[in-house]
Structure 1
Amino acid sequence: MTIAVNIRSEPADVSKPPVLEISNLAVSYRGSDGFQRVVHDVSLQVRPGEVVALVGESGSGKTTTAQAVIGLLAENGKLESGVVRLNGADIAGWSQKQLDTIRGSKISLIPQDPTSSLNPIKTIGAQVAEVLQIHRHGSRREIDARVIQLLSRVGLSEPELRARQYPHELSGGMRQRVLIAIAIALRPALIIADEPTSALDVTVQKRILDLIDELRSEYGTAVLLVTHDLGVAADRANHIVVLKGGRIQEQGPTAEVLASPRSEYTRQLLADAPSLSHVRTASRVRSQRVRGGDDAIVVENLVQDFTVGGRRSVLRAVDGVSFTVQRGTTHAIVGESGSGKTTTARSIVGFQKPTAGRILVDGIDVTSLRGENLRRFRKTIQLVYQNPFASLDPRQTIFQIVEEPLLNFDPLPREDRARKVRAILDRVGLPPSVLARLPHALSGGQRQRVAIARALVLDPQVLVLDEAVSALDVTVQAQILALLDELQQGLGLTYLFISHDLAVVRQVSDTVSVLHNGRQVDGGPVEDVFLRPGSAYTRELIDAIPGQRNTDSH
């Protein structure tokens, strides 16, 4: 795949000395067998006003490298060798007390998870003020004024109100803006942004990245951007460093790396990144498949209300949603957090009774089912959850996990159950050697294959995939999507694909419904919706897909 790139960001001024210079960095972690090296001889530079992206999958060493720079390695981590220069000073051997003098003032971190990174019992204002107080940046009154100024600068509405609120009262995007306010409070020379948007919706992600870019441009701040998302790196970085297994595979200007990747690993990452793979031959093949045939799922005027605050008020989570899914095809429901997509899926699976509307699955009226009939209906439709690390019982073996639905539904003899478990694990590409293992011994991709096997062991007609690939690295994601396509072709399965990732949706779906605040604002064949969106909201979602800004596929 060849990609032509037009980088929006101006190139770094090579006449200026690097803000950050890493030379031959090596990091180890202590385990049961002693220290094991996880970062090998990493070298890179970040100049003023430049964004350098550290790209790689889980376990590649990118976050460990970033943590080593700012001195925040885990307790069992050790910086074995190498040089870390910040504005010319080697800080690699500094004590935590010495590093405290520059954290926040010279170098700042925007962490990945805004939920766990903010103190739940301190107000937002107190947490932003803390970095100013540590570095004695003005009087109490001056600090209070600076806090309001910072919250306003990062785009939070009503900053005086936000300063008095607690983290749980803010959305994920708002909490991430607070972390950025803390990071820029003292205008550091270097900001390390560690997956700063991976947990956010695509439009919120774009706003956060735009904000970081504005601040970089305004203050001349150097940014080390840690990301697994090549689309984000393509849009935002001047320079890309590709890591695998703690070693640099290649690095260079973004345009060069994307247009002519030298390493096989980088070429694979590019091929597997949905947002960079604009040629949609699969979609064109799929669109021809949506012709005639009976409907596996029919949803008519679905309404789902929830009572909040006791019985004082009603929240309408889904408002008049209608769509059909032809047998053997994939229908995607897309939207941001709070759009109603997961609520819609739960109603279709029969986990909750709709307030109004009709749902037919394989000709069965789901809304009329009760008791044993509802329990037996679950054989027809199965759910695969988002997080393979949380959806499997850690105390059960893989065999027990896949066998359990058979014990609940099919009174088969033990030998027949064992035969069926082995057959379905083989179908999803897992070897017999995993049968006796516990989930913790498997990778994320292997765990999701187990979750798919558990869903398929009852021979359902419909699979509901609720963000089923969003927690996976891009190459593993590509493998699971290929597996799902193979299973659909081989078994005639119908998929309801719940996702916030429009790049993946375009790749795998035949038809799509776009939800916004519980209402369906767009729908139809996936290519029609992408090429001719019927709402401003859909256009905003499509425009926010990373990787489009600087790439045109050929």
Structure 2
Amino acid sequence: MTGILTAGAAAAGAPTLTVPVLELENLSVSYADRHRRHRRVIHDVSLSIAPGEVVALVGESGSGKSTTAQAVIGLLAGNGRIDGGSIRLNGTDIAGWSQKRLETIRGAKISLIPQDPTSSLNPVATVGSQVEEVLRLHTKLPKAERRQRVLELLERVGIPDPGRRARQYAHELSGGMKQRVLIAAAIALQPQLIIADEATSALDVTVQRRILDLIDDLRAESGTAVLFVTHDLGVAADRADRTVVLQGGRIQEQGPTYEVLARPTSPYTRQLIADAPSITGAPSVAAGEARPLPDAGRDNAVEVRNLVQEFAAGRNLPAFRAVDGVTFSVPRGTTHAIVGESGSGKTTTARALAGFQRPSGGHIIICGQDLSALDAKGLRLFRKHVQLVYQNPFTSLDPRQTIARIIEEPLLNFDAVPRQRRDAAVRDLLARVSLPESLLAKHPRELSGGQRQRVAIARALVLNPEVLILDEAVSALDVTVQSQILALLEELQRELDLSYVFITHDLAVVRQIADTVSVMSNGRQVEQGTVSEVFLNPQHSYTRELIDAIPGNRKAQP
């Protein structure tokens, strides 16, 4: 059995071996296709995690990260199987255990914090009852004591008014709150190992930092080992003692995080680091290097003046003001970013810019047209000039349509365009977004996430718009695919003189692609200026908090 040399023991001159909490040795996993042929997806993976240690498992989608984590906790899909190797928990090999036997250690010895809290929580059960379920299954505590323990756990993870929150349902909580509920359930029995599978990837940077701080506090208090499954090298840099890099189900390299990030030996790791804005962006901003603005004197493609957006709040209640007095302009051919946490008013502003809702006050002038002065017909024609690219292309693309039909559809909604010209336009755009013509007959489900987002961009460009509004358009992508999409957007901007309004919560991406930025909080614009001005000399405390929370800013040290 492999042991781990503890640093304190070595320093004292009496080296001792500590049994790892988790040790994988030559783990191999395969999935069966519909013909029951098994395809190997994990190849001889070996790693270990000591008590109190944090290990990051990084790589792109399809690299095998989540499959490795699922194998550890015994939650492989029905067509998955472990082909070989061992999974030792505190020295005991659990690789061959039955599901019934594994259920005795899930929650008690190993806990999982999944990526999507919305789909992980039962919508028809209160959040308190879901946390209590772990205690009911694994302890003999009386009901009153279980419920008291639930309140203590919710308070421990930073949920205010736990008595009220425990009686609420998942839809009544924010994303950050829901993730805290899952953490409360995961730590209820003080497990020896927590697996966090992209547990913060969908959260705003400030909420992400609070969640990661919480996990770190719990690790320090109880000696819990943590396996971080993530594609975010910034998170690994900040939080992990060691990092394991996976590609195609094979380990490319592993070691202390600082050494892996500072002196990568694998070409794949070097590419991941080069593509990660949270790792590569910080030095350029610190040095004052920013994207050069286009020539001064350009006219504005977008002007927003004192924008107000209100929504009815119910009978006898004052209207809810989601956007309050936002003002900014976007010179033609430049990129303006709007950043802030969920609920800050970013997406509401984007929808107003796209003409999906009429402003309650103020003015939006795009390509010289004041949206408030347009009737229904004028607004429809206006949408030829402005197109919106959404966050999730899988839900924004019609799954029943072929890629060719998806891209050409906007042409059918306006003036009649002959089929030959439509086909030529579709093929031209597919080439512009670097996709092969062989995809034209396929459906969205047959494409990767990055390919789907390229299709969404091609669809947005088919009407030759002057302005693209990109609402979290790269936030769901791995760093390598994200880097490719950002490079594509910059290339298209140069070629077509496009103007972008880029909605995002990721400030690392902002400093890579944007020229100017507005920072929003609770519907108000708290800061606005060039990216270099705002990042190097933030004036508002909220902006400073956002910048401080960017993963990778803490930097792992030797």
TM-score, length-scaled by structure 1: 0.95
Match of 1:263?
266
Match of 2:533?
528
Distance across 2 between alignment mates of 1:284 and 1:185:
47
Match of 2:18?
16
| 1:158-217 per-position Cα deviation (integer Å, ceiling 9, x unaligned) | 112122222222111111111111111111111111111111111000000000000000
Match of 1:175?
178
- What is the CA-CA distance between 1:37 and the residue it aligns to? 1.1
Match of 1:26?
28
Paired residues in the alignment total 543
Counterparts in 2 of 1:300-311, with a 5 A limit? Answer: 300-310=305-315
Q: Pick from 391, 400, 404: which aligns with 1:386?
A: 391
Contact 2:390 2:396 in 1 (8 A): yes
Distance across 1 between alignment mates of 2:274 and 2:200:
22
| 1:395-426 per-position Cα deviation (integer Å, ceiling 9, x unaligned) | 11111111111111232222112111111211
1:368 counterpart = 2:373: yes
1:113 counterpart = 2:108: no
Letter in 1 for 2:324: D
Letter in 2 for 1:542: I
Distance across 2 between alignment mates of 1:320 and 1:436:
46
SS in 1 for 2:400: coil
Contact 1:12 1:50 in 2 (8 A): no
Letter in 2 for 1:347: A
Letter in 1 for 2:181: V
1:454 counterpart = 2:445: no
Contact 1:283 1:508 in 2 (8 A): no
Q: Pick from 69, 78, 87: which aligns with 1:84?
A: 87
1:291 counterpart = 2:296: yes
Counterparts in 2 of 1:456-475, with a 5 A limit? Answer: 456-475=461-480
Match of 1:221?
224
Counterparts in 2 of 1:48-197, with a 5 A limit? Answer: 48-197=51-200
Distance across 1 between alignment mates of 2:8 and 2:156:
25
- What is the CA-CA distance between 1:118 and the residue it aligns to? 1.3
Larger displacement relative to structure 2 (349-358 or 289-298): 289-298
Larger displacement relative to structure 2 (13-22 or 192-201): 13-22
Distance across 2 between alignment mates of 1:368 and 1:62:
52
Percent of matched pairs sharing the same residue = 67
Distance across 1 between alignment mates of 2:141 and 2:484:
54
| 1:327-349 per-position Cα deviation (integer Å, ceiling 9, x unaligned) | 11000011111110111111111
- What is the CA-CA distance between 1:294 and the residue it aligns to? 0.7
Match of 2:3?
none
Q: Pick from 495, 500, 505: which aligns with 2:500?
A: 495
Match of 1:436?
441
Distance across 2 between alignment mates of 1:226 and 1:285:
32
| 1:105-133 per-position Cα deviation (integer Å, ceiling 9, x unaligned) | 11111111111111122222211111111
Distance across 2 between alignment mates of 1:176 and 1:12:
34
Q: Pick from 517, 522, 527: which aligns with 1:512?
A: 517
Match of 1:352?
357
Letter in 2 for 1:98: R
- What is the CA-CA distance between 1:311 and the residue it aligns to? 6.0
Match of 1:233?
236
Contact 1:107 1:188 in 2 (8 A): yes
Alpha carbons of structure 1 residues 506 and 141: separation in structure 2 relative to 1, 3 Å: same
Contact 1:283 1:506 in 2 (8 A): no
Contact 2:290 2:531 in 1 (8 A): no
Match of 1:211?
214
Contact 1:283 1:510 in 2 (8 A): no
Alpha carbons of structure 1 residues 290 and 118: separation in structure 2 relative to 1, 3 Å: farther
1:43 counterpart = 2:36: no
Larger displacement relative to structure 2 (515-524 or 416-425): 416-425
Letter in 1 for 2:304: V
Match of 1:324?
329
SS in 1 for 2:19: coil
- What is the CA-CA distance between 1:219 and the residue it aligns to? 0.2
Distance across 2 between alignment mates of 1:353 and 1:419:
35
Distance across 2 between alignment mates of 1:324 and 1:222:
49
Contact 1:29 1:78 in 2 (8 A): yes
Larger displacement relative to structure 2 (305-314 or 398-407): 305-314
- What is the CA-CA distance between 1:252 and the residue it aligns to? 0.7
Alpha carbons of structure 1 residues 199 and 154: separation in structure 2 relative to 1, 3 Å: same
SS in 2 for 1:250: strand
Contact 2:58 2:243 in 1 (8 A): yes
Contact 1:12 1:48 in 2 (8 A): no
Contact 1:328 1:488 in 2 (8 A): yes
Distance across 1 between alignment mates of 2:550 and 2:158:
21
Distance across 1 between alignment mates of 2:316 and 2:332:
40
Larger displacement relative to structure 2 (270-279 or 122-131): 122-131
Contact 2:398 2:406 in 1 (8 A): yes
| 1:477-522 per-position Cα deviation (integer Å, ceiling 9, x unaligned) | 1011001101111111101111110000111000000010000000
Distance across 1 between alignment mates of 2:339 and 2:276:
19
Contact 1:123 1:164 in 2 (8 A): yes
Provide structure 1 residue ranges, at least 5 long, that are not aligned to the other structure. 1-9
Q: CA RMSD in A?
A: 1.7
Q: Pick from 268, 284, 287: which aligns with 1:280?
A: 284
- What is the CA-CA distance between 1:29 and the residue it aligns to? 1.0
Alpha carbons of structure 1 residues 164 and 59: separation in structure 2 relative to 1, 3 Å: same
Letter in 2 for 1:27: V
Alpha carbons of structure 1 residues 400 and 321: separation in structure 2 relative to 1, 3 Å: same
Distance across 1 between alignment mates of 2:103 and 2:289:
56
- What is the CA-CA distance between 1:290 and the residue it aligns to? 6.0
SS in 2 for 1:515: strand
Match of 1:478?
483
Distance across 2 between alignment mates of 1:311 and 1:369:
31
SS in 1 for 2:136: helix
Contact 1:191 1:223 in 2 (8 A): yes
Q: Pick from 413, 419, 424: which aligns with 1:419?
A: 424
Larger displacement relative to structure 2 (202-211 or 436-445): 436-445
- What is the CA-CA distance between 1:389 and the residue it aligns to? 1.1
Letter in 2 for 1:325: V
- What is the CA-CA distance between 1:146 and the residue it aligns to? 1.3
Alpha carbons of structure 1 residues 236 and 285: separation in structure 2 relative to 1, 3 Å: closer
Letter in 1 for 2:259: E
